[in-house]
Chains A and B, each alone.
Chain A
Amino acid sequence: MAHRALILSALTMLATATASLAQQQDLPVNSIADGVFVHNGQTAQMTRENDGAIANVGFIIGEDAVAVIDTGGSLREGRQLMAAIRARTGKPIRYVINTHGHPDHVFGNGAFVQDGTTFVGHTNLPRTLAARGKFYLDAFRRTMGDELIDEISIVPPTLFVSGTLNLDLGARALVLRAWPAAHSDCDLTVFDKKTGTLFAGDLVFLAHTPVLDGSIRGWLGAISELGALPAQRVVPGHGPVSEWPAALTDERRYLQTLASDVRGLVTSGKPIAAAATAASSERSRWELFDDFNTRNATAAFSEIEWE
């Protein structure tokens, strides 16, 4: 009987181990450059099924410490990102950097709250999180469900960036840059000098229809400046890691088309309800186009009509 008890106990241990593995499963990440790891988010809306894991999130390992760049669309994704980091290094996580305030980039923040970790964001990020945090939790409860949403807390930054800020991970300098309103009004980029890797947040979209939640004119201006950065590659907020600055081509064309079409509608006296027709020539080139284009056109209209 001792034999059977042993099997039972082994089975119990196995079950327990599997359960905790499911909880702390590593988020799949790719090493895209020396010490730079990225999880490529699914091109989709945040749902119960995908744990909100739709944005690209990543981390950079220096001699002394680690910086996390965006934490994902749920606490569950944040924990899995933490597990992916711990599977690769035991160094302390010194910084968690949020590229902006959208839920798919900040909902995982709670997984990284501990002594010695500083949350970093655009100087406007606290205002955005204050204005939208509760609304986002309510809104995403509908598509992600109570189980994922209940455990999420909105964690604002305590280190703010306006202009640029250098962070040191030990023989590894990161240059953070805060942008004027573009994709949103709290966009922040992270440049890893050692490998020439630019984490652009949602200032850069590939494949996934760009989402306008700041200023279309500001965004087009930011694209011109971004293109001049001496990066080798970009980690966009959505879409594959890509060559720089070629990665900007599709997004620039989309935004220029949208602005030009909307300007035509405004000039000819069309009402904002007609904005949806703008940029329809771009439909075949993007994923999730019907989820976002009308919204982008509406936002662009409300900006361009003040020109």
Chain B
Amino acid sequence: MPGYLLRLFGVAGLLLFAAPLAFAAGANDPWPGLVQDIFSNRPMNDGSDVIAIEMPTRAEDAAIVPVTLRTKLLPGDIRQVLSITLVIDENPAPMAAKFQLGPDAKVSEISTRVRVNNYTDVHAVAELSDGKLYMTKTYVKASGGCSAPAAKNADEAKGRLGQMRYRQFGKAGEGPASGAREAQIMIGHPNNSGLQMDQVTQLYVPAFFVNELRLWQDDNLVLTMEGGISISEDPNIRFTYVSNGAKRFRAEAKDTEGHVFEREWKIDDSGI
């Protein structure tokens, strides 16, 4: 099992067997254990000037909770953000995603959607070029009603497997001259959590999810994501970056069953 899978899923496995204890978890902050498991106990510095995390105060739809990560380094700061790790403490697989930012793409904002199972702290940890980790966090209340962190239309989710879409957005207040671009990649995938039990066999259905996504402008890396089962069905990444004048945008996604999905689009640079 590759290292990232162990990290993404090993924690899920452990928590799965500890499920009866999950309710007492509120009194027992899982964060110190997660710092150990995910970040090898490296020191956490205050990240409030480095990174912002935005989520609604309540998970309205448990299966699709929007989250935005934004870098806050000032223009003169010589440090660069290398990666951002998103951790949903009380989820069955807390490590939701690790984003690595392309060295020249100046990614300043990443939005995606996650599943939220419980009342939980959500941590964003940025690793900077100074070799240190910077942490910020927010708190999300679980959804009410019959909302669940599961597929709404399981057949449709399967039917969309591997479809990929790319979209560019106009960036308000910034003309094309600044080079700032906002774009979105959508990947049709059930991103199945694997946490449901088959009632006949009494075995857990294997998880099936996108574990790797890479995005390039021409041959320059913009962004990569190591994803886990906390990322919502049909993984959707919206991000802001700086164009290098590339004419092509390329995406490659891999899932836990070894599928590789690749697609390339022409960049519309006509004046957004």
Measured CB to CB, the residues of A under 8 A from B are 45, 102-104, 124, 126-132, 134-136, 138-139, 141-143, 156, 181, 184-185, 211-215, 218, 269, 271-273, 276, 291-292, 294-295, 298-299, 302-303, 305-306
Contact = CB atoms under 8 A, between A and B. Distances in A.
Nearest to B54: A273
Contacts, number: 117
A104 to B, nearest CB: 7
Given A185-B153, A306-B234, A104 B146 contact: yes
Interface in B99-137: 111, 113, 117-118
A264 B211 CA distance: 32
23 contacts: A127-B154, A128-B150, A129-B199, A131-B150, A131-B196, A132-B148, A134-B19, A136-B146, A136-B148, A139-B142, A156-B199, A181-B155, A181-B156, A269-B167, A272-B113, A273-B111, A291-B145, A295-B60, A295-B145, A298-B60, A302-B233, A302-B236, A303-B153
B266 to A, nearest CB: 19
Contact of B145 (A45, A218, A302): A45
A166 B15 CA distance: 44
Contacts of B66: 271-273, 298
A83 B155 CA distance: 39
Given A130-B199, A295-B145, A215 B169 contact: no
Q: Is the interface of A mostly helix, strand, loop or mixed?
A: helix
A185 B154 contact: yes
Contacts of B61: 294-295, 298-299
B145 A135 contact: no
Contacts of B248: none
Interface in B132-175: 142-156, 160, 163, 165, 167, 169-170
Interface in B197-226: 197-199, 205
B186 interface: yes
Interface string B226-245: 00000011101010000000
A265 B153 CA distance: 22
Contact of B197 (A130, A213, A218, A303): A130
A302 B199 contact: no
B148 A299 contact: no
Given A273-B68, A306-B188, A103 B146 contact: yes
